[in-house]
Amino acid sequence: MGLREMELVIPSGFGVEELRQRLVAKEPNAAAALENALVSINREYAFGNERIPDGAEVAFFPHVSGG
């Protein structure tokens, strides 16, 4: 998305996949990167429909190739 940081208010109990979908809706050009990105909540990996606690830091790490 070309951003280092973004503050976004989401409803309580929002899930990782719901957040991913909201971000894609906000920035469709980022869909491919967000689809395969790893996600962390408060510096711990998060998967699937894991819920995001209030005040959490959520980070997306794009897929990179290399060795």
In tens, the pLDDT along 11-65 reads 988 999 999 999 998 888 889 888 889 999 999 999 888 999 999 999 988 877 6
Q: What is the CA radius of gyration of the chain?
A: 12
Output b/e per residue, 36-45; b: 16+ Cβ within 10 A. eeebebeeee
Report which of 43, 44, 23, 51 is spatially closest to residue 35, judged by C-alpha positions. Answer: 23
Name the pLDDT band for 1 (thresholds 50, 70, 90): low
Give me the pLDDT at residue 19, please.
93
Q: In total, how many domains does the chain have?
A: 1
- pLDDT attached to residue 3: 73
What's the CATH code of the domain at 67?
3.10.20.30
Predicted local distance difference test score (pLDDT) of residue 67 = 55
Domain containing 53: what range? 1-67
Q: Could you tell me the pTM of the whole model?
A: 0.80
